[in-house]
Amino acid sequence: MSTNNSSTEQLNKNTSPTPGTAWVVAVQESLVTIEVRDVPIRKNEVGYICVGNERLMAEVLRIQGNTADMQVFEDTSGVRVGDPVDLTGELLSVSLGPGILAQVFDGLEKPLEVIAKAHGFFLPRGVDVAPLNREKKWTFTPCVAIGDKLVAGQPLGTVPEGPFKHKIMVPFDEANEVEVTWIYEGSATIDSPIARIRTADGKERQLTMVQRWPVRRPIPEPMIRRRIAERLYPQEPLTTTLRIIDTFFPIARGGTGCIPGPFGAGKTVLQSLIARYSTIDITIIVACGERAGEVVETITEYPEMKDPKTGGSLMDRTVIICNTSSMPVAARESSIYTGMTLGEYYRQMGYNVLVIADSTSRWAQAMRETSGRMEEIPGEEAFPAYLDSSIKNVYERAGVIKCPDGSIGSLTMIGTVSPAGGNFEEPVTQATLATVKTFLGLSYDRAYKRYYPAIDPLISWSRYLEQLKKWFEANLESGWVDSVSAMQELLERGDSIYQMMQVTGEEGVSIEDFVTWQKSMLLDMVYLQQDAFDEVDVSMPRDRQLESFRLLRGLIQREFTFTEKEQVRDFFTRLTGVYKNFNYSPFNSQEYSRYMKEIKDLVAQHSIAAA
């Protein structure tokens, strides 16, 4: 025992750093405790654990006196007591500039493709690669002149980035008005000077195309307080071209939504359809916890997938952020904040951005793991007591803003939740439901019956249907919200009748109730369900949705002349088949018109009006 103690004391004596530095005093998996001497330190500051020639990136989570707990973003094997720690003084930040689009980053904005080409697919730890290409030249076109007075977030000029104009803006950390003293025009790298400004205190500052911003600090907040940017109320829905969402459970552009559901209910396919066909400019997918196979599918399929808007690759307007297998589970948290910061950056340019986080359950589990190691007082199911506020802080970064140059940008946030066993009562789902305004609950029963998208209309809801009532009635038709509510009531009545038939059989319900149930089934089969593998039915624009909804509403409101339930069943079976063919027909084509006539003729044969 004495020999071991002497060895430990000698080790600490040999490895203790000189005054004015920091060093490791304890290691617990990915959580490292350090001691600091004569240097300032703050929460969320980045530091590097020095292990030989390797520098392991970490973030300060908690400070207690002269010690601090740091979350290390890489494997901590070989980290020992006494290892030096290099504190940078910078908060966990990302680089914002041209070259972000069409990239695959890890949660710290490291370009995975660049690292893979240099080091292979088994990524070594301690590798530090610039997130943006430092050698590529961009054509900078100024939009200001010498002497112009600007504020943070106002554009100095633009460079082309894929199908977009990437605005190079006055850094967001400028609190006061600045004056342009020099502006460049021509080709330059992101590190080349493109402008000089004079700040309020008279100092000159040279600007490049790239700036750094802390991921945990929302970009618009300092500008909102100084009335430079303005947060607006969402004024219109996000058109997804999915009938059940656009009609029954809309999401506002600049709003929030969540998609909880059990394994196999179709979350991945649903979020892929939303990303591909929605009325947004840029998509940011944060794969912060799903299985590796699904992440690989996303990375490989998006470059090959055709963008329905531009005809090019869908990846041209997409950013994918995912964790590598070498990163500890607790590092998932950084992915969410990185994705939101990149989304806010493009929103500042006046673009409509969609952030999809898949899945926030894994992110919450990572917080639970870290909280447990820090021995914090646990909340429900051992999640940290601040789980609810953490979820709210992320979703509240969504919204619509009026930018300093007058353009309007939006950031829509949709998070998928993976509750264990499909239990929507667990803390992560409940905290999310208390925050978002659209709940698209996926049902295992509907997925088992091949009802896709498997959004259960009886448990899902949207507060935007009433909130955006003026838009719906001005752009679709008067009384739209009431019509949708009536259809929802039909689904509920139909389900009640079906539950009764499960007990009494068909003989236990009247023919009128049987017709009501068949009408609700028709609405479900031909409108709520949509074929993701049919090139026509996969995406239905709003004008076609409106026409289909009116047609379906008209025949549902009809009264029929049935005398037997078998007659009812035969009629609705035939009607469902014709209506599905109608959905598969290109809009306003000959087949479209022919099937519409067949539907109307079939309904007229059995309606009281025809009799």
**What is the residue whose two structure tokens read 């997925």?**
447
Q: What is the pLDDT of residue 418?
A: 87
Indicate the SS3 state at residue 278.
coil
Is 115 part of a structural domain of the chain? no
Q: What is residue 261's predicted lDDT score, i.e. its pLDDT?
A: 86
Task: Name the pLDDT band for 228 (thresholds 50, 70, 90).
Answer: low
What CATH number is associated with residue 374?
Answer: 3.40.50.300
Max mean pLDDT among 3-12, 123-132, 334-343 falls in 334-343
Cite the annotated binding site for ATP by residue number: 261-268
Centroid of chain to Cα 90: 26
Residue 117 lies in a domain: no
Task: Give the model's pLDDT for residue 300.
Answer: 81
Question: What is the pLDDT at residue 358?
Answer: 87
Domain boundary (415, 438, 463) is at: 463
Q: What's residue 224's pLDDT?
A: 43
Q: What is the mean pLDDT of residues 89-115?
A: 94
Strands (E), 254-386: 256-260, 282-287, 318-322, 352-358
Average pLDDT over residues 34-55: 93
DSSP 321-347: EE--TTS-GGGHHHHHHHHHHHHHHHH
User: Within 13 A of 196's CA, how many CA atoms are on the CB side?
Assistant: 7
Look at residue 302 in the predicted model and tell me its pLDDT. 84
CA-wise closest residue to 60 among 25, 92, 95, 94: 92
pLDDT of residue 146: 97
Would the pLDDT of 610 be above 70?
no
Q: pLDDT of 333-359, one tens digit each?
A: 889 999 999 999 999 999 999 999 988
Q: How many CB atoms lie within 10 A of CB 205?
A: 14
Same domain, 260 and 384: yes
Residue 227 falls inside a structural domain:
no
**Per-residue pLDDT tens for 168-198?**
999 999 988 899 999 999 999 999 999 999 9
C-alpha distance across the termini of the chain, in Å: 101
Mean pLDDT for the stretch of residues 350-377? 91
More confident residue, 513 or 7: 513
Are residues 238 and 279 in contact, defined by beta-carbon separation less than 8 angstroms?
yes
**Which H or E element spans position 85?**
strand 84-91
- Report the pLDDT value the prediction gives residue 91, as an integer from 0 to 100: 95
Question: What pLDDT sits at residue 5?
Answer: 41
pLDDT recorded at residue 45: 96
Mean pLDDT computed over every residue of the chain: 90
Q: What is the pLDDT of residue 420?
A: 80
Residue 471 belongs to a domain: no
- Do 251 and 387 lie in one domain? The reply is yes
Examine the domain organization and report whether 238 and 361 are in the same domain.
Answer: yes
Of the CA atoms within 13 Å of residue 398, those in its CB half-sphere come to 27
Mean local confidence (pLDDT), 103-117 = 91
437, 463, 489 - which closes a domain: 463
Give pLDDT, residue 14: 39
Is the model's pLDDT at 12 over the cut of 60?
A: no
426 and 494 belong to one structural domain: no
Q: What pLDDT score was predicted for residue 465?
A: 96
For residues 151 and 257, state if they share a domain: no
**pLDDT tens, position by position, 594-606:** 999 999 999 988 8
pTM for the complete prediction?
Answer: 0.92
Q: Are residues 281 and 392 in the same domain?
A: yes
In this structure, are 269 and 399 located in the same domain?
Answer: yes
Of 248, 256, 254, 298, nearest in space to 276 by CA: 298
In-domain check, residue 68? yes
**Whether residue 182 is found in the same domain as residue 55:** no
Cα(415)–Cα(365) distance, rounded to whole angstroms? 15
Residues 269 and 360 in one domain: yes
Q: 496: closest CA among 513, 484, 519?
A: 513
| Bigger pLDDT: 19 vs 544 | 544
Containing structural domain, residue 443: 234-463
**Interatomic CA distance for residues 250 and 239, integer angstroms:** 8
- The percentage of the chain sitting over the pLDDT mark of 90, rounded to a whole number, equals 73
Known binding-site residue numbers = 261-268
pLDDT at 303: 83
500 located within any domain = yes
> What integer is the mean pLDDT of 282-302?
78
Q: Give dist(CA 454, CA 447) in Å, integer.
A: 5
Residue 116: band (very low, low, confident or very high) from pLDDT cuts 50, 70, 90: confident
Lowest mean pLDDT among 112-121, 288-297, 404-413: 288-297
Closest to 280 in 3D by CA, of 241, 229, 320, 337: 241
Q: Quick one: pLDDT band at residue 94, thresholds 50, 70, 90?
A: very high
**pLDDT tens for each residue of 454-504:** 999 999 999 999 999 999 999 999 999 999 999 999 999 999 999 999 999
Residue 468 lies in a domain: no
CA distances from residue 540 to 347, 462, 544 in whole angstroms, order as listed:
26, 20, 6
Query: Do residues 349 and 377 both lie within one domain?
Result: yes
The amino acid sitting at 296 is: V
**CATH code for position 540:** 1.10.1140.10
The total number of residues shown for the chain amounts to 611
Q: Give yes or no: residues 359 and 282 share one domain.
A: yes
In a domain, 123, yes or no: no
Residues 6, 55: one domain? yes
Structural domain count, the chain: 4
